[in-house]
Amino acid sequence: MPEGPSVRKFQLLTTPFVGQVVTKVGGSSRKINVNDLNALRLQDSQVHGKNLYLAFVAAEGPVGPTLQREAASRASSPAQGGQEQVCARHTHLQEKELQELQDFRSEVPDAAEGLGNWLRFHFGLFGSIRANEFSRAKKANKRGDWKDPIPRLVLHFERGGFLVFYNCRMHWCSSPRADPASDVLSVEFHRGRALDALHAPNPVCYTLLDQRYFSGLGNIIKNEILYLAKIHPLTPGTLLALSDLERLLDCAVQFSSDWLRSKLHGEGLHPQIYKKEQCPLGHAVMKGTLGPSGGLKRLTWWCPQCQPAVLSKDGDPSPVTE
Ligand SMILES: [Zn+2]
């Protein structure tokens, strides 16, 4: 799924539309009634971690009780178990897609929050936003058809522009779930809290994906910063010196900001370890599916030479499941 830097770029695409009224809607979403957005004014756009939030108000003025009641009635319709039928068309889910669904489940417990005038967007693996253009098929599907991606939501605005949202789940809520102290891309990011979280007996690669402490940090960033900091993904945080944890945090902040900057310049990411067979020094890279037992497991790449395993006191390296 798109990580923090990508969602920040999406948010920048929406900002020119803030203040404009929605004049026409479209899209395939079944989680919300897209027609409810007709004639509303886009009032605000915020990004928190991996989520984008758009605020809508009645076009005449600021949000009033009437709209909030309407939003409440919209949201109190059956919650469908909190899951949009993301892949209903696909009978065979690929492993990646399953992981995305697991991500959704781990991060979206909030059917009960469905009140209010903020629309929350959570993006899937190929989730994206386009401004004033539709996404086109880049290759034929398995049946040989050139089918363009189907937007979940299309918003046309009064000045003629439009926004298109792909592969995302939408959900009405009363306010953005904001915790800038956990967002590595926020100036309010709280290093002390992040250090405390990392300094736990858990393997650091589990803690880095914990959105309570590192919102917006995803699997690509995790792999890259562990390589940059030369830390084995399964190292228990308690076995690392404070200086190592500090360096890992520095890498997290620096890498995320650099990635955002290159995205804004239209440049791609050039990973050093993620999905690589060799590290930049030519060593063979290891790959494993790592995650807490009973929790989300993600494919992880590391270089056993650049990121040597740290043995615990009883000399037993943490197990690696393939
Ligand atoms: Zn290496």
Which candidate, 212, 254, 259, 204, places its Cα nearest to that of 230? 204
**Per-residue tokens: 209:** 């994906």
Statement to judge: residues 271 and 197 lie in one domain? yes
Helix (H, G, I), strand (E, B) or coil at 15: helix
315, part of any domain:
no
22, part of any domain:
yes
189, part of any domain:
yes
**Per-residue tokens: 123:** 């993006």
d(CA 274, ligand 1 centre) in Å: 13
d(CA 275, ligand 1 centre) in Å: 14
Statement to judge: residues 31 and 78 lie in one domain? yes
**Per-residue tokens: 167:** 């592969």
For 141-166, the pLDDT digits (tens) are 888 888 888 999 999 999 999 999 99
321, part of any domain:
no
Statement to judge: residues 92 and 164 lie in one domain? yes
Statement to judge: residues 106 and 184 lie in one domain? no
For 290-311, the pLDDT digits (tens) are 999 888 899 999 999 999 998 7
Q: Are 310 and 235 in contact (CB under 8 A)?
A: yes
The pTM for the full model equals 0.71
- For the chain, report the end-to-end CA distance as a whole number of angstroms: 22
**C-alpha torsion angle, residues 176, 181, 182, 185 (rounded to 10):** 90
Statement to judge: residues 166 and 184 lie in one domain? no
Statement to judge: residues 210 and 124 lie in one domain? no
**pLDDT exceeds 70 at position 88:** no
Statement to judge: residues 152 and 63 lie in one domain? yes
Q: How many CA atoms lie within 13 A of 20 on its CB side?
A: 17
Statement to judge: residues 137 and 244 lie in one domain? no
Please calculate the CA angle 220-100-318 and round it to the nearest 5 degrees.
60
Q: Which residues surround ligand 1, an ion (CB under 5 A)?
A: 279, 281, 283, 303, 305-306
Query: Active-site residues: which are they?
Result: 2-3, 50, 298
For 211, the domain range is 180-302
320, part of any domain:
no
309, part of any domain:
no
d(CA 92, ligand 1 centre) in Å: 36
Q: Of the ranges 106-110, 221-225, 234-238, 260-264, which one carries the lowest mean pLDDT score?
A: 106-110
Statement to judge: residues 20 and 153 lie in one domain? yes
Helix (H, G, I), strand (E, B) or coil at 232: coil
pLDDT score recorded for residue 312:
65
Which CATH number goes with the domain that contains 119?
3.20.190.10
d(CA 285, ligand 1 centre) in Å: 7
d(CA 107, ligand 1 centre) in Å: 33
What is the count of structural domains for the chain?
2
Statement to judge: residues 67 and 122 lie in one domain? yes
319, part of any domain:
no
Statement to judge: residues 146 and 212 lie in one domain? no
DSSP state of 244: H
Helix (H, G, I), strand (E, B) or coil at 103: helix
Statement to judge: residues 186 and 169 lie in one domain? no
d(CA 272, ligand 1 centre) in Å: 10
39, part of any domain:
yes
